[in-house]
Amino acid sequence: MSKSAEFNQDTPKPLQVEVIKNLAKGNNCFFQARTRFGKPRISEIFSKIFKKKVMILFFNPFDCLGDNQK
């Protein structure tokens, strides 16, 4: 993931790296992360590394997952 460090000030978190790897392999992904985890960075990093690949991200603030936001 060193290539992503060129585009971002911080090193990506392990879960961000794992999601990007799975998306690059063409796998569908679902992951849950707390508020301010950096979910949008996944699309930023992916689009800068893989300019020709198509990816659709759907962020849904599940009300039932609200307890995990603490």
Tell me whether residue 37 is in a domain: yes
C-beta atoms surrounding 2 within 10 Å: 6
Backbone angles phi, psi at 13, to 5 degrees: -75, 150
- Domain of residue 44, residue span: 2-62
Report pLDDT for 65.
54
User: What is the reported pTM?
Assistant: 0.65
Of all residues in the chain, the percent with pLDDT exceeding 90 is 17
Residue 68 lies in a domain: no
At residue 1, the pLDDT reads 52
Give, as one character, the DSSP assignment of residue 6: T
Provide the number of structural domains found in the chain.
1
- What pLDDT band is residue 53 in, cutting at 50, 70 and 90? confident
Q: How confident is the model at residue 33 (pLDDT cuts 50, 70, 90)?
A: confident
Q: What's the mean pLDDT when you consider all of the chain?
A: 77
What single letter denotes the amino acid at residue 65?
L
Residue 70 lies inside a defined structural domain of this protein: no
Contacts of 19 (CB under 8 A, 6+ apart): 29, 31, 42
